[in-house]
Amino acid sequence: MLKKADFWLLSLVFILFLFFSYFKNPAIFKYRFDDKLVSNYFRSQDIEDKEDKIKDRIFLSDSEIYLATGYLYAKGEDPTKFNFQHPPLVKYLFGFATLFFGNPYWVQIFFALFLIFLTYLLGKMAFKKREVAFLASLFLVFDPLLKDNITQLLLDPAQAVFSLFYIILALYFPNNFLLNGVVLGLLFASKFWSSSLLLVVFIFLYRKFLIKEKVDYKNMFLSFLVAFFYFQSYLYQDFHKLWRPF
């Protein structure tokens, strides 16, 4: 599938991405977490206050809320108590990156690099030409939307990665129900599931009616079952207790 020349080209693209990201946004590489964000979070709009006890409300951005809640999750707090309207998977990653490296932006950089890799892989598989794959991934390096996304701690980069990963698996490896299910579960656990569900429906319709592919409903059902159990795992009330040592 990918040969030595492909990995050399990917290495070049990765280096270009890291170089231009550092040149344009050096602050994300030097960021250090401030504990005050957590105390600010408890005064933010994300905290329900039916008894009106919070007198000095402040407004936090989505990035700040995701980072604060991710840090709380990683420290062992119950994710069902804080910002649970959004799935906690990516916020957990923000929290662990903060605990171990002091910088949650490494998560976004990782997802950006993974997205570039998947773009190259899909280009190579779809067009059978290394040049097309290289140009597609190179265009992504200079995409202003991607650059903007890595400067914020949002859930979109992870959702984009898992979406593209699932598209590749569903179209080229549909019989691997376990891997399809795990990636689908990651997709549903990364951001609110409505858009992910639309993607699944679209892929099914594409395979069934546009390319007239014979769909293996048994494998499809098994992959959905794997995804369901994975997706449900973070809803388990005592899931957060696994991280008590931190």
Tell me the pLDDT tens digit for each residue of 179-231.
999 999 999 889 887 788 899 999 989 988 888 888 888 888 888 888 877 66
The secondary structure of the chain in percent helix, strand, coil, rounded to multiples of 5, reads 70, 0, 30
Q: Where are the domains of the chain?
A: 31-104, 155-246
Neighbours of 51 (CB within 10 A): 6
Query: Model pTM?
Result: 0.90
Here the tokens at position 168 are: 């590749």
Q: Which of 54, 151, 157, 75 is nearest to 110 (CA)?
A: 157
pLDDT 10s digits, 76-130: 998 889 998 888 899 999 999 999 999 999 999 999 999 999 999 999 999 999 9
Reference 89, options 103, 107, 115; nearest CA is 107
b/e burial code for range 110-141 (CB count within 10 A of at least 16 → b): bbbbbbbbbbbbbbbeeeeebeebbebbbebb
Residue 241 DSSP code: G
